[in-house]
Amino acid sequence: MAKKTKPLSNRKLLSIAGLGWMFDALDVGMLSFIIVALQKEWSLTTQQVGWIGSVNSIGMAIGALVFGAMADRVGRKNVFIITLLLFSVGSGLSALTTSLALFLLLRFLIGMGLGGELPVASTLVSESVSADKRGRVVVLLESFWAAGWLIAALISYFIIPVYGWRIALLLSAIPALYALYLRLNLPDSPRYTALERKQRPSILQNMKSVWAKEYAKQTLVLWVLWFCVVFSYYGMFLWLPSVMVMKGFSMIKSFEYVLIMTLAQLPGYFTAAWFIEKYGRKFVLVTYLIGTAVSAYFFGTAEELPLLLTSGILLSFFNLGAWGGLYAYTPEQYPTSIRGTGSGMAAAAGRVGGILGPLLVGYLVAAGKDISIIFTIFTIAIVVGAAVVLFFGKETKNTVLKD
């Protein structure tokens, strides 16, 4: 029998889950800046730099699959805490590494924690909020990602050039303490708690159920959508400071400009949070993905600073707003018994794109390809994702989650 806990208000639930989300973004955001410092300090090739981002995504893919399935067996709360501890401890240990091989191993473990935490946290929040507010609250949950990226940009701008990347990584390990606090204060979702009293299928049965006739179409839509979004996001954003350096700016100036671009993520989330309940999930996903595609194209082709900054700001605005819609949309496709599994498997499919995106950039840059060509590839991928949702996705605005 599950232990009864007092339900949290939407605001308190949002703040507790959101802070965990923020720590995720802090780690991913900081990695994009640390890559620039590591490339210089360890004399890494562009291919090796690409592997840092890709190994992180391999861990995220496995973490999303494993921990998403676990969430349907041992609860959303328990998995949320395990994943938070995993990436926090891994970040602290990676500050002590002196070789690329060990750094990559720890990035894999960190990635597992990151990949598992994100879909589980959105599932937990989705199941705890009423249908009329669910989309808005999940998008607001995603807005904590922007706060994490902003903190990462600030730490990177002020700490890395003066004190080095190791100190920056140690600062990102603080969430381990917060994870202990979460265990005492976070109840599991009421829908999962009710399900605990019933006999549940095995993990393998749940994975098969995701592809049952009733859910196969939305599963395919989600997998294509996730692949396109994650492929383009990690290909572009993990390389963003490096791309600025390639375009002729110093490391410190590049960090400064990326910090300015990062500020645009917050209004991107807040506008998406307002639109998602007014016009629906598909409207937000399609509109913000098209905005992302146009911005990516102009960012890749920009030569002058004004256009580079403007397109970079719009890229952050639209792309992160689309992410908010993605996390709100995904858990709504499945019933409670397979919601964690379905969300985790979709995220895992996306992380395959996250593996390929950074690698693609590294190898194309090494081959002497222009940045404009690379960003055109990401533009096309984003348009494909938008088209799949527009023509084949189902609207889930105001729908009551299935039990």
Quick one: pLDDT at residue 244? 79
Higher-confidence position of 21 and 338: 338
Q: Within a 13 Å sphere around the CA of 345, how many CA atoms are in the beta-carbon half?
A: 24
- Residue 222 makes CB contacts below 8 A (sequence gap 6+) with 329, 330, 333, 342, 346, 349
Spatial distance between the Cα atoms of 294 and 153, rounded to a whole number of angstroms: 24
Query: Which of 279, 264, 293, 275 has its CA nearest to residue 386?
Result: 293
Site of tokens 């750094």:
103
**pLDDT score for 291:** 97
Does residue 61 fall inside a structural domain?
yes
**What's residue 18's pLDDT?**
84
- Helix ranges (H only) for 95-214 are 100-126, 131-158, 160-163, 165-171, 175-185, 190-196, 203-210
pLDDT of residue 400: 66
Would you say residue 403 lies in a domain? no
Is 28 inside a domain boundary? yes
What's the CA angle centered on 107, arms 102 and 110, to 5 degrees?
130
Give the pLDDT mean for 386-390: 97
What pLDDT does 371 receive? 86
d(CA 92, CA 75): 27
pLDDT of the residue at 180: 66
Q: In whole angstroms, what is the distance from residue 223 CA to residue 147 CA?
A: 27
Mean pLDDT for 137-166 is 85
Cα–Cα dist 339/192, whole Å = 10
Q: Is the pLDDT of residue 4 over 80?
A: no
Measured at the CA of 228, the angle between CA 225 and CA 234, to 5 degrees, comes to: 130
pLDDT at 1: 41
Q: Is the pLDDT of residue 3 over 60?
A: no
194 inside domain: no
Residue 273 has pLDDT above 50, yes or no: yes
Taking a C-beta distance cutoff of 8 angstroms, is the pair 226, 350 a contact? yes
In a domain, 64, yes or no: yes
**Alpha helices (H) along 279-335:** 281-301, 305-329
Is it the case that residue 288 has pLDDT exceeding 90?
Answer: yes
pLDDT of the residue at 231: 94
Contacts of 78 (CB under 8 A, 6+ apart): 188
pLDDT band at 403 (very low <50, low <70, confident <90, very high): low
Q: What range defines the domain where residue 355 resides?
A: 10-183+205-392
Low-confidence winner among 231-235, 250-254, 309-313 (lowest mean pLDDT): 250-254
Nearest Cα to 241, choosing from 59, 41, 49?
49
The model's pTM is 0.80
Dump pLDDT digits (tens) for 183-221: 667 787 777 777 665 666 778 888 899 899 999 999 999
pLDDT of residue 241: 77
* Whole-angstrom distance, CA of residue 139 vs CA of residue 133: 10
The pLDDT confidence band at residue 376, using thresholds 50, 70 and 90, is very high
- How far apart (Å, rounded) are the C-alpha atoms in residues 325 and 226? 11
Q: Residue 2 — pLDDT band, cuts 50, 70, 90?
A: very low
The tally of domains found in the chain comes to 1
Flag whether pLDDT at 256 surpasses 60: yes
Q: DSSP string of 114-143?
A: HHHHHHHHHHHHHTTS-HHHHHHHHHHHHH
Cβ neighbours of residue 67 closer than 8 Å, sequence gap 6 or more: 79, 82, 83, 112, 115, 116, 117, 120, 344
Residue pair 343/124 in contact by the 8 Å Cβ criterion:
no
CA gap 344, 386 in Å, rounded: 21
225 assigned to some structural domain: yes
SS3 38: helix
The whole-chain average pLDDT of the chain stands at 85
Cβ contact 268:146 at 8 Å? yes
CATH of the domain at 83: 1.20.1250.20
**Pick from 352, 357, 337: which is nearest to 69 by CA?**
337
Most trustworthy range by pLDDT among 122-126, 251-255, 351-355, 375-379: 375-379
* Mean pLDDT for the stretch of residues 331-347: 89
Of 76-90, 166-180, 286-300, the range with the highest mean pLDDT is 286-300
Compute the distance between CA of residue 237 and CA of residue 241 in angstroms, rounded to an integer.
Answer: 8
Query: Is 30 contained in some domain?
Result: yes
Of the pLDDT bands very low, low, confident and very high (cuts 50, 70, 90), residue 296 is very high
Average pLDDT over residues 255-273: 84
Q: What is the pLDDT of residue 183?
A: 65
**What percent of the chain has a predicted confidence (pLDDT) above 90?**
28
Q: What pLDDT is recorded for position 197?
A: 59
Kindly tell me the burial class for residue 247, based on how many C-beta atoms sit within 10 Å of its own C-beta (0-12, 13-18, 19 or more): middle
